[in-house]
Structure 1
Amino acid sequence: MDQLTDPLAGLDAVPWGSLHHAYGPAVDVPDQLRALRSTAAPVRRRAMSELFGNVYHQGTRWGASCHVVPFLVALADDADNPDRAAVAGLLRSMVLGDRRDDALPFDPQRAFASAAGVTDEQAALVERHLEAEDLFEHEEVAKLADGVAVRWEADAFHAGARHTERYVRWLTDPDPRLAGYAAELLAWFAPDETVLAGLIAVSDDEARAAVRASANLTLGHCPGGSERINVRLQELLSANAMVVRVTAAVGLAYRLGDQLPDLALDVLTDARSLDFDAEVPGWDRSVRGFVALALHRVGLG
């Protein structure tokens, strides 16, 4: 494949042997990334499981993790990849870990504050002792371990933050799971004009209802008082799909609190009385959970 279109271009230029994951030097990562493009589904599933175990072991990121991120972005961006949404799910885990929506809006400076001052040398020292399985035999090195772990989290997050223009492009992807994941992923980065325009523009037709719902939740979590966001969410209170109407009302409740328009409040109370629920791609919390939180924010929880 032409280097300009190969999602794994540059893979062999990364010094994987000097990077570490949960089980030592990351020399097996390149083949695992290549296997994500296999035509055989079992091969792809095994590679996905191995990558999760290596570079996202029990929620921990490692020195190699941030170097995996751009290749996962490129693989999810590759129209020939048969498991793009699954790759985006792994990408999300790598970049954000197990953070849930109650951490939004996200402040990376505060979240990663304990990594401030951690040097490359300190990170390498911790890696060496982890590999030797004698970390806790060296008290001074063990004291560095928590800060180093946060440093690896921060490195992975910032690696993911460099690709928001790709995530915006995925919002219009024919695969609604990938598009929905992209909308949720964008909630974690400070929105610029391109991000806001992309989220606002997502269609509300029936085929894109799940994507529109995910975008609504992200807009609801956006910091700032952009009137365009409020206007778009109010328009969507009359959408055909109930999941779009309800998530638009949730978004407005998050943004406006007790200044919520009557129609949005009606949508929320109807959803509660009907016990309406749905899963929105990219979000761990169900719509019913968001409705409960939204009503709490307006004083009706």
Structure 2
Amino acid sequence: MLEQLSSINWSILSHAYGSAEDVPQMLRDLASPDEQLRGIARGALYTNVYHQGTVYQASAYAIPFLLELLQQETVPEREEVLILLAYLAQGNAYHRQRWHFYTEERKHDSALHAELEEGILWVEKTYEAVSAGLPLYFSLLGDPAPKLRMAALRLLGSLSREAAQIASLLVERFSAEHDQRVQASLLFTLGTLLARQEEAFPTAWHLLEKGLDKGQTDLVRLAAAMARTRGPEAPASAYDLLLERIQYPDALDDLYNEPPWAESRLVFDVIRSFYALPPSFSSLLIPRLIQVLESLNPREERGELKLNGIIAGELADLLLTLVFDTNESNPTRARMRKDLTHLQTALLFAILQSDAVWRWDVGKGHSMASQLFREEQFETIVDVRLYELQKHGLPETRQMLRAFLCLEPQDKDIVRIVSRKANIHWTPPEQKKEVLAELIALNPHCRLADLKMLVGDYSS
């Protein structure tokens, strides 16, 4: 196995960090019985031959050996090799990825154009090398291991130029597959391939429609709905399913994470699927999405859903994108309330009134200041900022948004936390428990989550 590795002069090939002479050992380590060694090798390959979406000379040369590893049943974790191949097939050239950042002067640099052409050449060679394994990937769809079948489907979804051939085979394959996770992966793959094609595939679209039937499992119906909304004239039932999953994601959350198509947690992937909402559905679904946002508030009061605040923030971002025109010549200009439509105003009121949206969470923008409160006590003031509002020329804090909508300020617009120290958010790790206990005693009005955030305790 891998006997031909030494026949290639890897030292004259390049990857992200220069010479590719280290690639042969990484490829050999993928077949190692040592799990840790395999993990290190995979991590190194993702860094070197697929670096932040860029592929190189060594990428194309490494692929035949990855295919060789796939053919050996004794190689552990072959599904990971398939996923690496899927990423390589979708790789791009360094300069093409960053072209929109370059100045006009640099875009006319002949040396840059030469590098761009060289990069695109290796993108093409890399894709061709991956697509050469198509018969092998098809054969793996019959492997006894569901993980391997799902990974093969993930890879097939990256081969858009072979969409017609792959789609036909998947339509035939669906009835022979009985594992719901693999069935869901198959439908995800179909949706990905069909979304990139101008050609009509009626049998494939029909299969996605069939996947929505109530006789299918919830995971399969979810996959069919997410895939179907990428195509033309998606049925209302697909959006109904997705709305339900935003509100009640927990039942499928763990199962959804098993297929390799899951980009993040179920609820966030479902929310992202609404960004392609066609205008014909906007008037019907935007009010319902606002209702979903409002439904998170009672859960916030009951302390349900640990991710409630982040979910609400993602929903607010989606709704702002759908309701405010992001194609304006200057979308970040300050808006005037008198210029807002009825729907835009209704959305801003819903965002303002949602405690879940304004929950202080990791990753949410905020400003923080400490000041002397009374003798030997300080007060930390936290003002949560929603950068999603700022992107659309709207006030980004709750206090500012309330004033924009001509409403009186409220105490809950900002978080006030009393402590015996200034800058308590710099609490050393060994003092966190002690300081948190003191904060709880001093701030019975505050949520425990806010007090934990202040001392940098992110435990559940």
CA distance in 2, matches of 1:28, 1:220: 38
Question: Is residue 188 of structure 2 the alignment partner of residue 217 of structure 1?
Answer: yes
Alpha-carbon shift at residue 220 of structure 1 (Å): 1.9
CA distance in 2, matches of 1:253, 1:204: 22
2:134 to 164, 168, 181: 164
Pick the structure with more helix per residue.
1
Residue matched to 1:27 = 21
- Root-mean-square deviation (CA, aligned residues, Å) is 3.2
Q: What per-residue deviation string (whole Å, max 9, x for no partner) do you get for residues 98-132 of structure 1? A: 89xxxxxxxxxxx89x9xxxxxxxxxxxxxxxxxx
Query: In 2 relative to 1, CA 294–141 (structure 1 residues): closer, same or farther, beyond 3 Å?
Result: closer
Residue matched to 1:107 = none
Question: Is residue 163 of structure 2 the alignment partner of residue 184 of structure 1?
Answer: no
Residue matched to 1:247 = 223
SS in 1 for 2:212: helix
Q: What per-residue deviation string (whole Å, max 9, x for no partner) do you get for residues 186-226 of structure 1? A: 22323455422432244579972222212212212312322
Query: In 2 relative to 1, CA 251–145 (structure 1 residues): closer, same or farther, beyond 3 Å?
Result: same
CA distance in 2, matches of 1:193, 1:156: 21
CA distance in 2, matches of 1:64, 1:164: 21
Partner amino acid for 1:171? L
User: With structure 1 as the length reference, what TM-score do the two structures score?
Assistant: 0.71
Residue matched to 1:288 = 267
Partner amino acid for 2:210? E
> Number of paired residues?
257
Cα contact 1:247–1:287 (8 A) shared by 2: no
Residue matched to 2:238 = 264
Percent identity between the two aligned chains? 28
Question: Is residue 208 of structure 2 the alignment partner of residue 233 of structure 1?
Answer: yes
Residue matched to 1:47 = 41
CA distance in 2, matches of 1:48, 1:192: 28
Alignment of 1:35-184 (within 5 A): 35-97=29-91, 141=111, 144-184=114-154
Alpha-carbon shift at residue 245 of structure 1 (Å): 0.5
CA distance in 1, matches of 2:210, 2:224: 9
Q: What per-residue deviation string (whole Å, max 9, x for no partner) do you get for residues 36-82 of structure 1? A: 11122222223223333332234432211101112112213321111
SS in 1 for 2:230: helix
CA distance in 2, matches of 1:225, 1:14: 43
CA distance in 1, matches of 2:263, 2:23: 28
Query: In 2 relative to 1, CA 230–24 (structure 1 residues): closer, same or farther, beyond 3 Å?
Result: closer
SS in 2 for 1:190: helix
Query: In 2 relative to 1, CA 272–35 (structure 1 residues): closer, same or farther, beyond 3 Å?
Result: closer
Query: Which shows bigger deviation, 247-256 or 63-72?
Result: 247-256
Query: In 2 relative to 1, CA 176–265 (structure 1 residues): closer, same or farther, beyond 3 Å?
Result: same
Residue matched to 2:167 = 196
Alpha-carbon shift at residue 22 of structure 1 (Å): 3.2
Cα contact 1:32–1:50 (8 A) shared by 2: yes
For structure 2, list consecutive stretches of 5 or more residues without a partner in the other structure: 100-108, 287-460
Higher relative contact order (CA 8 A, sep 6+): 1
SS in 2 for 1:39: coil
Cα contact 2:86–2:156 (8 A) shared by 1: no
CA distance in 1, matches of 2:120, 2:23: 22
User: With structure 2 as the length reference, what TM-score do the two structures score?
Assistant: 0.49
Query: In 2 relative to 1, CA 237–96 (structure 1 residues): closer, same or farther, beyond 3 Å?
Result: same
Query: In 2 relative to 1, CA 275–44 (structure 1 residues): closer, same or farther, beyond 3 Å?
Result: closer
Partner amino acid for 1:268? L
Alpha-carbon shift at residue 232 of structure 1 (Å): 1.6
Query: In 2 relative to 1, CA 44–269 (structure 1 residues): closer, same or farther, beyond 3 Å?
Result: closer
Query: Which shows bigger deviation, 282-291 or 219-228?
Result: 282-291
